[in-house]
Chains A and B, each alone.
Chain A
Amino acid sequence: MKRRQGWLFFIIFLLTLSVYLLINYPLQLGLDLQGGSQLTLQIIKEEGKVTRDELEAVNSVIDKRVNNLGVSESNLQTLGGDQLILELPGEQNPLVASRVLGKTALLEFRTQKEGTSTDLKTLQLQRLSIKELIERYSFSEKNQNDNNFLKVIQDDLKVIEQELNYSSTSNDLYGKLIEIKKYVNKEITNLFIKTDLSGKDLINAGRRQEQTNSNWEVLLTFSNLGGEKFAEITKSIAGTNQLLAIILDGESISEASVGNQFAITGITGGSATISGNFSAANARELEVQLKGGSLPLPIEIVETNTVGALLGSKNILKSLYAAISGLIFVGIFMIFNYRILGFVSVLSLVLYGFFNLALYSLIPVTLTLPGISGLILSIGMAVDANILIFERIREELYDGNTLTRSIDSGFQRANSSIVDGHITTLLSCFVLFLLGTNFVKGFAATLGIGVLISLFTSLNCSKTILRFFTTYQSLRQKNLYLPKNNFSN
Chain B
Amino acid sequence: MKYNLELIKNKRKIIGFSTVLILLSLLGILYSTFNTSFKKPINLGMDFVGGNELRIERVCEAECSDFTPDSVLEKLREISKNKNVLNNIKLQFQNNSKLISIRTPYLSIEESNNLINNLDSIIGPLNYDSKDSRLIGPKLGKRLLTNCVTSLLVSLFAISLYITIRFDKKYALFALLALFHDLVIVFGIFSWLGIILSVEVNSLFAVSLLTIAGYSVNDTVVIFDRIRENLKSKKAGYNETIQLSVNESFRRTTFTSITTLFPLLSIILFGSYSLFWFSLSLSLGIIVGSYSSILLAPSLLLKD
Contact = CB atoms under 8 A, between A and B. Distances in A.
Interface of A: 32, 35, 40, 42, 91, 93-95, 98-99, 141, 144, 170-172, 174-175, 300-311, 314-315, 318-319, 321-323, 325-327, 329-330, 333-334, 337, 369-370, 373, 376-377, 379-381, 383-384, 387-388, 391, 417, 420-432, 435-437, 439-440, 443-444, 447, 485-486, 489
B263 A326 contact: yes
Contact of B134 (A304, A421, A430, A437): A304
Contacts of B154: 431, 435
A377 B159 contact: no
Contacts, number: 236
Contacts of A436: 147, 151, 203, 207
A310 B275 contact: no
Contacts of A310: 127, 129-130
B130 A421 contact: no
Given A425-B218, A428-B210, A322 B266 contact: yes
B82 A318 contact: no
A339 B79 CA distance: 66
Interface residues of B, number: 74
Given A373-B271, A428-B155, A325 B266 contact: yes
Interface of B: 1, 56, 78-79, 81-84, 108-110, 112-113, 127-137, 139-140, 144, 147, 150-151, 154-155, 158-159, 162, 166, 203-204, 206-207, 210-211, 213-215, 217-219, 221-222, 225, 251-252, 255-256, 258-267, 269-272, 274-275, 278-279, 282
Contact of B147 (A32, A383, A387, A435): A435
Chain A contact residues: over half helix, strand or loop, or mixed? helix
B256 A370 contact: no
A318 B221 contact: no
A74 to B, nearest CB: 16
B275 A373 contact: yes
Contacts of B274: 32, 369
Contacts of A303: 134-137, 140
A387 B225 CA distance: 16
Given A424-B159, A436-B207, A304 B263 contact: no
B150 A435 contact: yes
A379 B113 CA distance: 40
A486 B210 contact: no
Contacts of A373: 267, 271, 275, 278-279
Nearest to A447: B211
Contact of B109 (A95, A171, A384, A435): A95
Nearest to B212: A428
Contacts of A42: 137, 139-140
